[in-house]
Structure 1
Amino acid sequence: MRAPGRLVAEQVTPVVADHGEGPVWCPDDDRLRWVDLLAGDVLALDPATGVVTRRHVAGVVAAIRPRSGGGLVAAVERGFALLTDDTVELLPEIWSDPTVRMNDGACDPLGRFHCGSMAYDAAPGRAALYRLDPDGTVTTVLTGVTVSNGLAWTADGGTAYYVDSALGRVDAFDVDRASGELTGRRPVVVVPPEQGVPDGICVDTAGGIWVALWDGGAVHRYTPDGDLSAVVDVPTRRPTACAFGGPEYTDLYVTTSRQGSPPGDRSPAGALFRLRPPVPGFAAHPFAG
């Protein structure tokens, strides 16, 4: 097997987040947005100027996606919210337990926002994966999850990839293109513990799976068969997620976390990083509601 290619991510912002997560490119205004999860803030980078802006949304904001009619859909601590430039509409809470919060999510090709949860102490089996439909209906998709993390669909919509970080792997689902139903769950990538913990993911136009490795200081690209094809060195211990952006989706952005950093740490943990891989990505599916 060919040795994986080696790439390096370059820092593009100062340290701007304590726990950066959930990057997504918003084509309506050519901004990369991501969250400072436990601060409840949405950050936005204008790549043309390098300016980063910050907006407070709620006590926790775990994941965001553009809405097809403008604005954003967000996962907040115990449910979902709809954002415009000026308003935050909190939808009814899905659960009341204060020890569990939302964690990461994405929209499917049918425009439905999926987001999964985790217990604050990462207790096994206490989390789930939920789906918000455009009409506001919420459905539980998976139960018995521990740390629901990365979720992404292939460009043709026929396969979805999913990470429960506690399992140390990336799983694949077959997708019914009419109903969006996920079936046939199976492991595709197993990450050795010494390489880090799989966290956020995205997929490129060739079907490559990009995986941020918490405690691994890297992002890995795997082929659809699970072979490691590229390693991105990130100069922080805790990359959290990755997403393609730019007008042609040629840039891969990587968010990072300062959680667990020692007092006085002067590393760039909490900054946003970027690289240009050989294969581009594609637009994230927007929320249809």
Structure 2
Amino acid sequence: MPRRLAADLVVPDRLHLAESPLWDDRAGVLRWVDILSGHVHGWDPRTGERTFFAAGLPVGAVLLRAAGGLLLAVADGFAVLDGGRLTRIADLDPAGGLLRMNDAVCDPQGRVFAGTMAYSHEPGGGSLYRLDADHSVHTVLPAVTISNGLDWSPDGATAYYADSPTRELRAYRYQDGRLLDPEPFAAFTDGVPDGVAVDAEGGVWVAVAFAGEIHRYLPDGTLDLVVDVPATMTTSCAFGGPDLDTLYITTATENLSPADLAAQPTAGGIFACVPGVRGRAAGRFAG
């Protein structure tokens, strides 16, 4: 049987769709987004100080940049946020406003992988894209429904990715910015795989949306640990803190009924636990 831990509420927000937790090691700040409102949040766990930016359009993810500032995967492309100014660097709107970004992450070489999904959740309506340092955009996987959960093994040879409605996390051979030879890694019957983080030991952490859990899998796919979260819409997770030993968890109120909301007063907040393993520093976009 897997071990079990409980997560505690650390930021008592009531957000609609908090996602993309990210530890900014230079600033010592946890960052995340509330996707449909287009809000980018920051929180310093030492002081409790908060930062806030309203992008004016949906934001699927926030990422770090090697040159400073942040990269945002916005509704229909990519934009740099620096000094409070938002500058578009790549446009991507093949469906004429029917799609939005849902999740994004930097690979070990500083390239960004970002996935789209249809607002209607149309099967196969989105794609997974790669943004290179020269700001060119390339299709990596077409016909994706809800793109989620990409991270790499410590050696960079394996990428873990989920198209959430498949209820499966897959392991891909990673080569030259491509996802190759997919194999099943973990299957989910209660809930669906959402955000993913890989720790320094190669353990794969998966937010299981609709289940209120975070799962840790060993590199061989064995379920090792379950983190219980008192909010069923667990959306993503990331390691942070000065020693990268705290697991931060985002949650949402989306898809919750009035009865669910009453029963889950902390839903939409940010949770944390200290699981006894360390994470890895987030990659930075090279462009």
Counterpart of 1:209 in structure 2 is 204
TM-score (normalizing by structure 2): 0.95
| Structure 1 segment 146-161 matched on structure 2, within 5 A | 146-161=145-160
1:13 is aligned to 2:8: no
CA distance in 1, matches of 2:91, 2:177: 24
Unaligned runs of 5+ in 2: none
Which of 160, 182, 187 aligns to 1:185? It is 182
- Any idea what the Cα deviations from partners look like across 1:148-201, whole Å, max 9, x if unmatched? 01110122211111010011011111122xx23321111111111xx2111001
Number of aligned positions between the proteins: 283
| Structure 1 segment 196-275 matched on structure 2, within 5 A | 196-263=191-258, 265-266=261-262, 267-275=265-273
How far is 1:247 from its partner?
Answer: 1.2
Does the aligned pair in 1 maintain the 2:14–2:267 contact within 8 Å?
no
Greater displacement, 250-259 / 219-228: 219-228
Greater displacement, 19-28 / 79-88: 79-88
How far is 1:16 from its partner?
Answer: 4.4
Q: Equivalent residue of 1:95, what SS?
A: coil
Does the aligned pair in 2 maintain the 1:152–1:202 contact within 8 Å?
yes
Greater displacement, 230-239 / 50-59: 50-59
Q: Which runs of 4+ in 1 moved over 6 A?
A: none
How far is 1:98 from its partner?
Answer: 1.5
User: Identity of paired residues, percent?
Assistant: 45
Counterpart of 1:62 in structure 2 is 60
User: Over aligned residues, Cα RMSD in angstroms?
Assistant: 1.2
Does the aligned pair in 1 maintain the 2:63–2:284 contact within 8 Å?
yes
Greater displacement, 89-98 / 18-27: 89-98
How far is 1:222 from its partner?
Answer: 0.9
Greater displacement, 82-91 / 244-253: 82-91
Q: Equivalent residue of 2:36, what SS?
A: helix
More strand by share: 2
Does the aligned pair in 2 maintain the 1:12–1:50 contact within 8 Å?
no
Unaligned runs of 5+ in 1: none
